[in-house]
């Protein structure tokens, strides 16, 4: 019950803020062009409460799953088309370019909200690990990777990278990106001996999604072993005897300090039996576990203790750059998801609906730190803005598309045709929403007792 209440409250607050600001964009643009706004609503269905100020009814409705701004003449019927045509404050009485701006205003506010939230996070918080290693040590090199072929080994410490002596990992990353599709000179300390190497940097280093894992390198950011916070029943870790509070000293004789490295190792090891050395209440314990594959990843089924963090706010310029990078990378991710959907490389059942968003919002609300909260709100705002620009009737992008078509034809599309288009689109949208909602609920495990 606690999880449900937290998820419901987080969903209403999160989606409420984003939807209200989205509709506020439409509202402000409509008012700017002197268009009459009859209603500003949060939610759909029967009116619960609200107030009327001037010509606008500001209200909250029963279903908190969205919102809308109702402008005079926005969806006229044939019966009242004549009256609306003579009303200078009606939506359809204004030039098409003004109506397009009103349609764009909502998504633009979503984009600005995404940027503002992430800027605020980076400028006032920017959480970083409280404790990290000083040197640039390599925790794990994936066999057969670019790094391994270049001669890098697990345990090497980078002394020089691209001519920069004693760099930190941020410097190594920055210089790797600067040298996309080139060879970079690297000097490492290997057991007290300096070794000169050349590391080829792939062309993918130009992309914001580039990561050290692309080279086969797992950097050591943290000291000490991996400490277990909780173990999931029914998974290999629980079956092998792993307990909360255990410290994983080594895996197959390799000392790993983060779950990211352990995951990279399991991905390479492809589900083979692993031997773990643990420290339990000061006593060494040995166990063996075989990872299980969930979707595309191998896992043991435990959660690590969260990394202690501290705030390290960035300058105005750095925070701006980081927020823009967040916006760009997540926009490209949404575009890729849409491309995979339309090319049938991704199933619609993998999409997250309102129940999934509520669950994610609840989890983010209870997680330590500010990044899960700011990050989720920014992602949802960005996704809402992009999805609303899709050229589908009822959505903002569909309205803009119809206005562009009318501009090309130099006359309005028949009201009868418009009504049929909107009716068909509404039916499709409701069916899609019902499917996503059912898919969300089915993932909660409520119907597992009826499955064979």
Per-residue pLDDT tens for 249-273? 999 999 999 898 999 999 898 889 9
Which domain-ending residue is among 212, 246, 261? 212
Hey, which residues does 219 pair with through a beta bridge? 138
Q: Look up the CATH number of the domain holding residue 277.
A: 2.30.42.10
In a domain, 322, yes or no: no
Torsions phi, psi of 178, nearest 5?
A: -70, -20
For residues 18 and 121, membership in a common domain is answered with yes
Computed over every residue of the chain, the mean pLDDT equals: 85
For residues 119 and 11, membership in a common domain is answered with yes
For residues 401 and 432, membership in a common domain is answered with yes
For residue 262 the two structure tokens come to 């352990």
For residues 110 and 196, membership in a common domain is answered with no
Q: Is the pLDDT of residue 297 over 90?
A: no
For residue range 186-239, what is the model confidence (pLDDT) as tens digits? 999 999 999 999 999 998 887 767 888 889 999 998 887 899 999 999 899 999
User: 3-state class of 252 per DSSP?
Assistant: coil
Q: How far apart are CA 107 and CA 125, in angstroms?
A: 27
User: How many structural domains compose the chain?
Assistant: 3
Q: Is the pLDDT of residue 66 over 90?
A: no
For residues 177 and 280, membership in a common domain is answered with no
* pLDDT: which is higher, 168 or 188: 188
> Domain range spanning residue 107?
2-33+94-125+378-450
Buried b (16+ CB within 10 A) or exposed e, 245-256: ebbbbebeeebb
For residues 121 and 207, membership in a common domain is answered with no
Q: At a CB cut-off of 8 Å and minimum separation 6, what does 200 contact?
A: 146, 150, 182, 183, 184
Q: Helices 354-366 and 2-32, interaxial angle, to 10°?
A: 110
Q: How far apart are CA 387 and CA 338, in angstroms?
A: 9
For residues 118 and 176, membership in a common domain is answered with no
Q: Helices 2-32 and 96-124, interaxial angle, to 10°?
A: 130
**Burial of residue 7 (number of CB atoms within 10 Å: 0-12, 13-18, 19+):** buried
Averaged pLDDT, 137-148: 93
Which domain-ending residue is among 307, 337, 365? 307
């Amino acid at each position: 019950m606690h999880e449900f209440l937290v998820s419901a409250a987080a969903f209403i607050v999160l989606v409420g803020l984003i939807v209200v600001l989205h509709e506020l964009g439409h509202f402000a643009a409509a008012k700017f062009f002197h268009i009459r706004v009859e209603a500003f609503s949060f939610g759909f269905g029967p009116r619960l409460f609200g107030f009327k100020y001037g010509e606008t009814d500001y209200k909250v409705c029963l279903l908190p799953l969205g919102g809308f701004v109702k402008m005079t003449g926005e969806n006229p019927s044939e019966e009242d088309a004549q009256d609306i045509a003579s009303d200078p404050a009606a939506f359809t009485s204004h030039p098409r370019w003004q109506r397009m701006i009103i349609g764009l205003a909502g998504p633009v506010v979503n984009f600005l909200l995404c940027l503002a939230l992430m800027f605020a996070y980076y400028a006032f918080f920017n959480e970083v690990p409280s404790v990290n290693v000083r040197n640039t040590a390599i925790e794990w090199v994936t066999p057969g990777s670019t790094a391994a072929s270049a001669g890098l080994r697990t345990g090497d410490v980078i002394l020089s990278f691209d001519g920069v002596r004693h760099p930190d990992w941020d410097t190594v990353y920055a210089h790797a990106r600067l040298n996309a599709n080139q060879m970079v000179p690297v000097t490492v300390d290997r057991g007290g001996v300096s070794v000169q190497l050349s590391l080829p940097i792939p062309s993918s280093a130009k992309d914001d999604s580039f990561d050290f894992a692309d080279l086969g390198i797992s950097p050591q950011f943290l000291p000490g072993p991996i400490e277990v916070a909780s173990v999931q029943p029914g998974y290999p870790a629980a079956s092998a005897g792993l307990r909360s509070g255990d410290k994983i000293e080594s895996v197959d004789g390799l000392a790993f300090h983060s779950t990211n490295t352990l995951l990279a190792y399991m991905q390479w090891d492809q589900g083979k039996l692993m031997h773990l050395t643990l420290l339990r209440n000061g006593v060494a314990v040995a166990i063996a576990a075989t990872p299980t594959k969930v979707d595309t990843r191998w896992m043991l089924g435990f959660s690590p203790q969260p990394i202690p963090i501290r705030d390290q706010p960035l300058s105005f310029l750095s925070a701006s750059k980081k927020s823009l990078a967040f916006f760009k990378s997540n926009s490209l991710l949404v575009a890729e998801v849409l491309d995979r959907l339309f090319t049938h490389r991704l199933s619609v059942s993998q999409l997250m609906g309102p129940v999934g968003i509520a669950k994610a919002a609840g989890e983010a609300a209870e997680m330590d730190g500010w990044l899960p909260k700011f990050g989720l709100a920014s992602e949802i705002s960005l996704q809402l803005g992009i999805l609303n620009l899709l050229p589908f009737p009822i959505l903002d992008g569909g309205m803009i598309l119809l206005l562009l078509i009318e501009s090309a034809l130099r006359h309005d599309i028949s009201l009868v045709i418009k009504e049929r288009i909107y009716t068909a689109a509404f039916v499709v949208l409701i069916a899609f929403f019902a499917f996503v909602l059912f898919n969300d609920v089915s993932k909660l495990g409520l119907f597992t007792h009826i499955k064979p």
